[in-house]
Amino acid sequence: MKNSYAVVTGASSGIGAEFARCLAKEGYPLILTARRRDRLEELESELKAQGTECHIITADLSQKEECYRLMEELSGRTIGVFINNAGFGDCGVFLETDVDKELDMIDVNVKAVHLLTKLVLRKMEKQDGGYLLNVASSAGLFPSGPYMATYYATKSYVASLTRAVATELKEIGSNVYIGALCPGPVDTEFNSVANVEFALPGITPEYCAAYAIKQMKRRKVIIVPTLTMKMATVGGRIIPLAASARITGHQQKKKLTKNS
């Protein structure tokens, strides 16, 4: 699929920007989208200076119409890789957190991911190939996440959807890949947007993106960087649900204390 484009949503910073850099090194021409045009233009200039073909599309994917507009702009191109990365989080007591921010989170983390997954997979199926990687979180592999309740729920949706669709594609013998990246803490702007300071040390976005692409090529469905998070997510599934919620909530509550 090297004669095709790689598309990255939420490409203006963090993991999204690093995915763009990694895929540029792989030789893909790029199409990058995010809300912040100035950030996209900076990254576009950087990549073009290195000889990469790069196009930017400013879009607010919380709006369904913008998702359709993005796909319309991609209609004439073959898409080899699609990184469904746009998303954000929030931390706090559910009774007190901002409901508008939470509903926006659901629009971006769930509705946009769902819609783009469906539209991109249909396009790739017609192409008879392609890689679609949904950026979820290790949060999506735990039963629940007190004090980040909405965020955990949105990422659980992404992980569940991805697993189910991967099974369907395998059963029909499709050449299209779908997977979900489920990292633990990553040192990006996510932390400030979500009002958190992680209790565990974070990995770099450079390592996260490079590891994800490597595992994507191996067609791994659920991708969890670092042994620590792999062990934590397994533990979260095998202990009783109530105990898992208490342990997870204890870790999240530390973030509230640090930011109070």
**Active-site residue set:** 151
27 near 81, Cβ under 8 Å? Answer: no
Among 96, 88, 84, 94, smallest CA distance to 33 is for: 84
d(CA 4, CA 128): 13
Angle, to 10 degrees, between the axis of helix 113-127 and the axis of helix 149-171? 20
